[in-house]
């Protein structure tokens, strides 16, 4: 017994080291599992508070830019409104059939944004109190940003599309061939669309939009344009490099999308499975 | 003793905030960020309590992790660096470490550089390995480690020189 105690006391630093190391590796692994990071995230009272304080200052420096973006978006929306009676010229991206009030939009400000790591997250200054919940989509006027994965009273954390665990359903604008949007961790302006069947007619510069299969994003939101593409190892699917329309390194304000019918659709799909 | 405690606590807080509010947003050439908060581990009193030191390093990494949403990678990296510090100190400073009379500000530049460089490279290597979490990306890990380390070492040496009077 004495010897055991002596051993413990002699090696207390190594034991402490191992213990704490196991804890941190455990936290790391947990963070790598989708939807399971329960303990630690920046959507808490302290870090959320600090980030929103620093972003309050930061926003002032970008006011010009945000105004310009708003102007651009207003211009786009005005164009759509003025043409709305002429059913032929309604822009395909905002097809009226996909915006029948199934989706609810909320605005939020990005108070923290990462893009230099492999698994990137954003923090928003809205949370449960503003009606935000898990698995809501997040977009800007130019393209998509990510999916809400943790919600606190006042803050929420978003899995960026620049995250190795993010998989978003996307499709070609011209045809209905679809694939999964992933990121290889290299360039924050380029994401990859994988598993697109070989039959799909591809051309450089083609637009990629969200596919309506995920219950998170409405169909038809612009994502980016094809930069280049090649067949994968099986020779039957394309891997496409996509240049994003929105600059992920510079995001100010975002829209959070709620799919109002999500529960209903989910219930229906669950009964199908049984 | 009290002033030492106070200055370490202040350093802890200032470095965490400096890291998460300013240095994490540099993104030089797309992905290179200095991790200057390692400075706390470098400067922690050499003769201090080792267990407390390990725990504080863990806490330091965890604070940065909470802000960065990165699980426990900074905590693990800090812990490894802290655990290896006595050995690296002995390697860099030789005999004077055993007599516990190193003064980092007054140490010769060569041993100071080797101490800082080894600590930073070790910390960054663990950090990026855990971040990628796969051996397929070993080249990317090494690339990130190299470039970020250079950046961190330069910043660390600069701040050591700038604030050296305080710690003398």
Instruction: Say if B100 is an interface residue toward chain A (CB within 8 Å).
Output: no
Judge contact between A32 and B133, C-beta under 8 A.
yes
The DSSP secondary-structure symbol of B108 reads -
Average pLDDT of chain B, as a whole number: 87
Angle at B139 between CA B137 and CA B140, to 5 degrees: 65
Residue in B with minimal Cα distance to A189 = B30
Mean pLDDT of B139-149: 91
| Sign of the dihedral through C-alpha B36, A17, B6, B71 | positive
pLDDT at A90: 47
Residues of chain B found within 8 Å of residue A185, distances taken between Cβ atoms: 132, 137, 140
- State which residue of chain B sits closest to A14, comparing Cα positions: B83
Task: Please report which helix (H) or strand (E) contains residue A30, including its range.
Answer: helix A12-32
* Count of C-beta atoms within a 10 Å radius of residue A21: 19
Give the whole-angstrom CA distance, residue A153 versus residue A254: 18
Which residue of chain B is at minimal alpha-carbon distance from A29?
Answer: B71
Residue B160 scores a pLDDT above 60: yes
Q: Do A54 and B21 touch (CB under 8 A)?
A: yes
- Please give the Cα distance from A160 to A185 (Å, whole number): 12
pTM over 0.90: no
Task: Please tell me what DSSP assigns to residue B28.
Answer: B
- The residue whose two tokens read 């812990």 is B79
Question: pLDDT tens track of chain A, all 274 residues?
Answer: 788 888 888 888 889 999 999 999 888 888 777 555 556 677 777 888 888 888 888 888 888 888 888 888 888 888 888 776 655 544 545 555 544 567 888 899 999 888 888 888 999 999 999 999 988 999 998 889 999 988 888 899 999 999 888 889 999 988 888 899 999 888 888 999 988 888 888 888 899 998 878 788 888 888 999 998 888 888 888 899 999 998 888 888 899 998 888 888 888 888 866 5
The alpha carbon of residue A180 is apart from the nearest alpha carbon of chain B, in Å, by 21
Between residues B36 and A263, which one has the greater pLDDT? Answer: B36
Q: Nearest-CA distance from A91 to chain B in Å? A: 35
| pLDDT for residue A186 | 82
Chain A contact set for B135 (CB, 8 A): none
pLDDT reported for residue B32: 86
The count of other CB atoms within 10 Å of the CB of residue A32 is 15
Cα separations in angstroms, A28 against A23, A120, A156, B77: 9, 14, 20, 11
**CB-based contact B125:B145 (threshold 8 Å):** yes
The C-alpha atoms of residue A159 and residue A34 are separated, in whole angstroms, by 9
B72 and A CB contact within 8 Å: yes
Please answer yes or no on whether A28 and B62 come within 8 Å at the CB atom: no
pLDDT digits (tens, 9 = 90+) for B52-105: 999 999 999 999 998 888 888 999 999 999 999 989 988 888 877 766 667 777
Which residue, chain included where needed, has tokens 């701040």? Answer: B159
The per-residue pLDDT for B134 is 79
Measure the CA–CA gap between B152 and B146, rounded to whole angstroms.
Answer: 10
What distance in Å separates residue A42's CA from the closest CA in chain B?
Answer: 5
Distance (Å, rounded) from C-alpha B22 to C-alpha A58? 11
Higher pLDDT, B138 or A95: B138
Which residues of chain B lie closer than 8 angstroms to A117, CB-CB? 31, 68, 70, 131
Percent of chain B with pLDDT over 70: 93
Closest residue to A28, CB basis, from B24, B30, B130:
B130
A24 vs B contacts (CB less than 8 Å): 58, 61-62, 71-73, 75-76, 79
Note whether B150 and B27 are within 8 A (CB).
Answer: no
Lowest mean pLDDT among B65-74, B102-111, B122-131: B102-111
Q: Does B159 touch chain A (CB under 8 A)?
A: no
Asked whether the beta carbons of residue B83 and residue A13 sit closer than 8 angstroms, the reply is yes
Beta bridge partners of B28: B32
Q: Who among B51, B61, B130 is closest to A13 (CB)?
A: B51
Using a 10 angstrom Cβ sphere, with 0-12 exposed, 13-18 middle and 19 or more buried, the burial of residue A106 is: middle
| C-alpha to C-alpha distance for B142 and B135, rounded to whole angstroms | 11
B152 contacts B90 by C-beta, under 8 angstroms: no
Mutate to test the interface with A, among B14, B66, B69 (most CBs of A within 10 A): B69
Confidence label for B168 from pLDDT (cuts 50, 70 and 90): very low
* Chain B residues lying within 8 Å of A42, measured CB to CB: 66-69
Q: What is the pLDDT of residue B167?
A: 47
pLDDT value of position B99? 65
């Amino acid at each position: 017994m004495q010897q055991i105690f002596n051993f413990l006391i002699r090696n207390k630093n190594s034991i402490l080291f191992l213990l704490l190391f196991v804890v941190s590796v455990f936290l790391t692994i947990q963070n790598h599992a989708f939807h399971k990071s329960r303990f630690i995230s920046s959507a808490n009272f302290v870090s959320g508070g600090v980030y929103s304080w620093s972003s309050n200052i930061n926003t002032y420096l970008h006011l010009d830019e945000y105004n310009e973006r708003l102007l651009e978006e207003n211009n786009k929306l005005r164009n759509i409104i003025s043409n709305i009676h002429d059913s032929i010229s309604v822009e395909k991206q905002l097809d009226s059939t996909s915006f029948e009030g199934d989706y609810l939009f909320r605005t939020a400000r990005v108070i923290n944004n990462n893009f230099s790591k492999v698994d990137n997250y954003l923090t928003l200054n809205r949370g449960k109190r503003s009606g935000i919940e898990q698995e809501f989509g997040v977009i800007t006027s130019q393209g998509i940003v990510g999916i809400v994965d943790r919600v606190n009273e006042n803050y929420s954390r978003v899995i960026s599309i620049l995250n190795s665990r993010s998989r978003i359903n996307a499709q070609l604008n011209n045809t209905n061939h679809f694939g999964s949007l992933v990121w290889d961790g290299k360039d924050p302006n380029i994401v990859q669309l994988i598993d697109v069947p070989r039959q799909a007619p591809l051309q450089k510069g083609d637009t990629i939009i969200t596919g309506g299969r995920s219950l998170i994003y409405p169909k038809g939101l612009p994502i980016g344009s094809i930069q280049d593409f090649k067949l994968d190892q099986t020779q039957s699917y394309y891997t496409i490099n996509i240049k994003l329309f929105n600059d992920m390194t510079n995001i100010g304000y975002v829209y959070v999308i709620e799919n109002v019918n999500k529960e209903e659709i989910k219930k229906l799909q669950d009964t199908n499975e049984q | 003793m009290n002033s030492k405690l106070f200055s370490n606590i202040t350093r802890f807080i200032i470095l965490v905030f400096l890291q998460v509010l300013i240095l994490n947003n540099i993104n030089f050439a797309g992905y290179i960020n200095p991790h200057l908060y390692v400075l706390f581990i470098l400067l922690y009193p050499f003769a201090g309590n080792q267990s407390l030191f390990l725990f504080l390093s863990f806490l330091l990494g965890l604070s940065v992790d909470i802000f960065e949403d990165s699980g426990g990678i900074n905590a693990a990296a800090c812990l490894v660096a802290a655990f290896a510090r006595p050995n690296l100190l002995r390697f860099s400073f030789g005999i004077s470490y055993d007599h516990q009379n190193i003064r980092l500000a007054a140490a010769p530049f060569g041993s100071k550089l080797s101490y800082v460089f080894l600590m930073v490279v070790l910390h960054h290597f663990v950090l990026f390995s855990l971040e990628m979490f796969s051996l397929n990306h070993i080249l990317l890990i090494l690339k990130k480690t190299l470039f970020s380390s250079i950046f961190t070492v330069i910043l660390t040496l600069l701040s050591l020189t700038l604030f050296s009077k305080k710690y003398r």
